[in-house]
Chains A and B, each alone.
Chain A
Amino acid sequence: MSAPAPGEGGSLKGLARWRADQRYALREARQTLRAQTLGTALIALTLALALLLPAALGRVLALTEGNLAHWPTTPRINVFFGSPEPPATLLARWRAHREIAALQAQSSEASRAEFRAALGMETALSRGLAGEAMPPLPSVVIVTPRPEAQSAARLKALAEELSREAGALGVQVDLAWVERLQGTLGFFTEVLVLFQGLLTAAVVLLVGALTRMALLERLPALRTLRLLGASDGFLLAPFLYQALAYGVAGGLLAALSLLALESSLTPALQALATAYALPLAPGGSAALAALSVLAQAVCFAFLGALGAGLWVLGRFDRLTAPSPGL
Chain B
Amino acid sequence: MIRLSQVGKRYGDRDALRGVDLELPRGSLNFLMGPSGAGKSTLLRLLLALERPDAGQVEVAGINLGTLPRRQRPAYLRRVGAVFQDPQLLADRTVYQNLALPLQLAGYPEATQGPRVRAALGQVGLAGAEGRLPWALSTGERQRVGIARALVHRPALVLADEPTGNLDPALSAEIMALFQRFQQVGVTVVIATHDVDLAQRFSGQALHLEGGRLVGQAPLGAAS
Contacts and interface: CB of A to CB of B under 8 A. Distances in A.
Interface of A: 1, 4-13, 17, 20-21, 23-24, 220-221, 223-231, 234, 322-326
A23 B119 CA distance: 24
B51 to A, nearest CB: 9
Q: Categorize the interface residue count of chain B.
A: 35 or more
Contacts of B57: none
A325 B105 contact: no
Interface residue SS majority, chain A:
loop
B102 interface: yes
Given A227-B82, A228-B105, A325-B162, A4 B154 contact: yes
Q: Which 5 A-B pairs have the closest CB atoms?
A: A7-B156, A229-B78, A10-B108, A10-B107, A325-B85
Contacts of B65: none
Interface stretch (B40-48, B167-175, B214-222): B40-48
Interface of B: 41, 44-45, 48, 50, 61, 71, 74-80, 82, 84-86, 88-91, 101-110, 112, 116, 119-120, 123, 149, 152-157, 161-162, 182, 185-187, 192
A227 B154 contact: no
Contact of A6 (B71, B109, B186, B192): B186
Contacts of B71: 231
B161 A326 contact: yes
B192 A325 contact: yes
29 contacts: A1-B119, A5-B186, A6-B156, A6-B187, A9-B79, A10-B107, A10-B109, A10-B153, A12-B109, A20-B104, A221-B91, A223-B88, A224-B88, A224-B90, A227-B48, A227-B50, A227-B77, A227-B82, A227-B88, A229-B79, A229-B102, A234-B74, A323-B84, A323-B85, A323-B88, A324-B84, A325-B161, A326-B82, A326-B84
Nearest to A221: B90
A17 B107 contact: yes
